[in-house]
Structure 1
Amino acid sequence: MQRSRLTYFILATATIIIGLLSRHFKNIPLFIGDILWATMVYFIMCFLFINKPVKFAITAGLLFCFAIEFSQLYKAPWINELRHTLFGRLVLGEGFLWSDLLCYVVGIGVGVMIERLINKRSLF
């Protein structure tokens, strides 16, 4: 089946909406948002690199997520001020957590499974 940018756009948008809604329900653990964030990153990588293999999107997604998480160890005043904005909180996060790295691996895995269900394509 042919991969479609529209499909990945819809998947990324739906994931963003679900992720934002998950923050409004107190019974949903916060780590679910981290998983959904990584899933969204995976769909964006698939959207941007539509002709690349799945391994590329997985690697690019994990590298991006991990880079953002490790950037939270950098505490310069200018970036801390940016992190206190809505954009900064949503994209850059506020504090480094090792557990977030696991959430990102799970989130990318969820994205791969959803993609495989939709596209019925081989993982590699």
Structure 2
Amino acid sequence: MKFLRFNQTYFFIALILFVVEVLIALYVHDDFIRPFVGDVIVVWFIYYSIKTFVGIKALYIAVFTLFFAFAVETAQYFQLINILGLQNEQWARIVIGTSFSWWDMLCYIVGFLFLFVIDKKLRKNH
């Protein structure tokens, strides 16, 4: 398997997940889907986005995705957006985020665990 490649199937999965995330961000203003389901889905989006271009073991991608999500949340804890002077930039507030939450960390773990259910290659650890 080549390290760098383009996988059309994973691209379309990532694209669909991206659209779902955008729709949640724009139109869902509740106390469950937006704050919790959105954080679970973002783990899947990152995972399939990476799988689109990188051909390594699914487990490695899943673990990297979880650590990446933790890193972003930790950056929120340390208010990275303010350190970078981007607190007034809407795009940065969306991408980087503005507030740390232990619930978000739990959602990332749930998203990571669900990957084992929804991705056959991860279960087989190819």
TM-score, structure 1 as length reference: 0.78
SS of 2:113 mapped into structure 1: helix
Structure 1 residues 31 and 83, CA gap change in structure 2 (3 angstroms): farther
1:32 aligned to 2:37?
A: yes
Structure 1 residues 56 and 7, CA gap change in structure 2 (3 angstroms): same
Q: Tell me the amino acid that sits aligned with residue 25 of structure 1.
A: V
How big is the shift at 1:67? 0.5
Match of 2:47 in 1: 42
Match of 2:96 in 1: 92
Q: Tell me the amino acid that sits aligned with residue 77 of structure 2.
A: L
Structure 1 residues 67 and 102, CA gap change in structure 2 (3 angstroms): same
Unaligned runs of 5+ in 1: none
How big is the shift at 1:86? 3.2
Alignment coverage as a number of residue pairs = 118
Q: Tell me the amino acid that sits aligned with residue 113 of structure 2.
A: G
Unaligned runs of 5+ in 2: none
Deviations 1:2-34 (Å, cap 9, x if unpaired)?
A: x96111111111101111112312343421111
CA contact (8 A) 1:8 1:47 kept: yes
Structure 1 residues 6 and 94, CA gap change in structure 2 (3 angstroms): same
1:12 aligned to 2:14?
A: yes
Q: Tell me the amino acid that sits aligned with residue 29 of structure 2.
A: K
The 2-side partners of 1:53 and 1:60 are apart by 11
The 1-side partners of 2:47 and 2:87 are apart by 22
Instruction: Show structure 1 runs of 4+ deviating over 4 A.
Output: none
Structure 1 residues 54 and 120, CA gap change in structure 2 (3 angstroms): closer
The 2-side partners of 1:47 and 1:75 are apart by 31
The 1-side partners of 2:122 and 2:74 are apart by 34
* Fraction of identical pairs, as percent: 26
CA contact (8 A) 1:15 1:36 kept: yes
TM-score, structure 2 as length reference: 0.77
CA contact (8 A) 2:76 2:99 kept: yes
